[in-house]
Amino acid sequence: MRVFVQVEIVEGCRLPVLRKNQEHEDEWPLAEILSVKEVSSRKLFYVHYIDFNKRLDEWVTSDRLDMKKLQFPKKEAKTPTKNGLPGSRPSSPEREVRKVEPVPVPAQVSPAAPVTTLSTPAEAPQAAVFPAVRETTPFKSRDPDHEQLASKKCVNVMVCLQDSQDSSDGIPSAPRMTGSLVSDRSHDDIVTRMKNIECIELGRHRLKPWYFSPYPQELTALPILYLCEFCLKYLKSLKCLQRHLTKCNLRHPPGNEIYRKGTISFFEIDGRKNKNYSQNLCLLAKCFLDHKTLYYDTDPFLFYVMTEYDSKGFHIVGYFSKEKESTEDYNVACILTLPPYQRRGYGKLLIEFSYELSKVEGKTGTPEKPLSDLGLLSYRSYWSQTILEILMDLKPDNGERPQITINEISEITSVKKEDVISTLQYLNLINYYKGQYILTLSEDIVDGHEKAMKKRHLRIDPKCLHFTPKDWSKRGKW
């Protein structure tokens, strides 16, 4: 006689969970149970899909769980102590796999049954900041008769790498983790790993947050959190928002408008002078940024908010922040395009604007690491297009191949030297030919670049920028 055993699913268990992928096909990825709650006598499980981005985490019902492959968490292994202090928790504790007899579950869903899930722009796991190491190094000596170099369809550009040897012989060093806003992952707990806001109404848009943001606890239970789109103040109800709008005089972000072309404007906001707005902006941004931590002390930062203008005012599209004084040459601390405006070219416009500011300052800059997966894609695309634009504009000198150095590319673009090198490696352009390094631009790369630039309608016009850099080392400027 078969005996059925009811198994209780607890936090820390892992098992396959039914979800839809980008092609709207059913899949059963392994997921970890982070929390369990009961609503109207129905159990709900908050799951994190292993090797997927946290923004895909969601509440699911029991009929989407594959109980046959349930893995129970083992007790934490005791790690060696040092000076009487307990060791750190193992990052990936071993799990006990139990074969569980099938338990009758009402309304069992088959793998082909439709399930509603939150759609997102991308489902790729978090990516590294620099390209993965290939089996062969990008600078490996090649046969002079290599067919790719001998092909008439290639454009060869000579590059001098001698001025770049201070960076581990031209190979970019690992990203530094000492930036001011880098999140300390060791302090993650079960609360901050879970989304706590269901929905945000910002002007004419309703946003589904991707990550935890430390809004006041009493607001996290609301079905909708209302924000004033001009001052970003958070309110608990539509009635409170309407009452606030009768008193709020802002129709644009506080601070100085330093750029305007068409309907696009940029405002520079001092984190010390406009503390409330800056803190509210950080709270909103944290809903969509996982790698950065939130600082209530906004004094050391400048915020550059991009807006779109219509008859009702200047509506926030995205922003980036930067330190007033950066010892790491960072020209961006956090950068975000709000979800309703993503995939429309605004991300590259924010990045381009940050480098235009660096050009006016006479510096090279780089974004604070680590970048999110979407941020990395945007930066790689911007770096690639910017560098290829310069290389394709080079003219032959007296019939010889045009020459350019890494430092010259960096000075022209204000892109840090390490980012230039990593981009050239990522594009696999660097070749060693007859005793010198050359860049080989194939027809595919040239055609791909030209098509991408035709789609890139939004560009920064330096003539429309009215910006005077300040010397923040003088404390009186603060």
Can you list the domains of the chain with their CATH numbers? 13-69 (2.30.30.140), 187-464 (3.40.630.30)
Q: How crowded is residue 365: how many other Cβ atoms within 10 Å of its Cβ?
A: 21
pLDDT at 395: 83
Average pLDDT over residues 230-240: 96
Tens-place pLDDT, residues 7-62: 788 888 899 999 988 888 999 999 998 988 888 888 888 899 998 888 888 889 98
Tens-place pLDDT, residues 73-98: 876 655 554 444 544 444 444 555 55
Tens-place pLDDT, residues 104-135: 444 433 333 333 333 333 433 333 333 333 33
Marked catalytic residue, from 229, 323, 368, 418: 368
Please tell me the distance from the alpha carbon of residue 440 to that of residue 10, in angstroms, as a whole number.
56
Highest-confidence segment of 249-263, 365-379, 392-406: 249-263
Is 368 labeled as catalytic in the residue annotation?
yes
Q: Check whether 301 has a pLDDT greater than 80.
A: yes
The burial of 262, by beta-carbon neighbours within 10 Å (0-12 exposed, 13-18 middle, 19 or more buried), is given as: exposed
Q: How crowded is residue 29: how many other Cβ atoms within 10 Å of its Cβ?
A: 15
Q: Which band of pLDDT confidence, cut at 50, 70 and 90, is reported for residue 433?
A: confident
Q: Which band of pLDDT confidence, cut at 50, 70 and 90, is reported for residue 439?
A: confident
For residues 30 and 47, is the Cβ–Cβ distance under 8 A? no
Q: Enter the tokens of residue 262.
A: 């068409």
Q: How far is CA 196 from the centre of its chain?
A: 20
Q: How far is CA 464 from CA 241, 266, 439, in A?
A: 35, 10, 34
Helix (H) or strand (E) holding 45: strand 42-49
pLDDT at 206: 96
pLDDT at 475: 62
Q: pTM score, two decimals?
A: 0.74
Tens-place pLDDT, residues 138-182: 333 344 444 444 443 344 555 555 444 444 344 444 443 333 455
Listing DSSP states for 188-245 in one string gives --TTTTS-----EEETTEEE---S-----GGGTTSS-EEE-TTT--EESSHHHHHHHH
For residues 371 and 378, is the Cβ–Cβ distance under 8 A? no
pLDDT at 151: 45
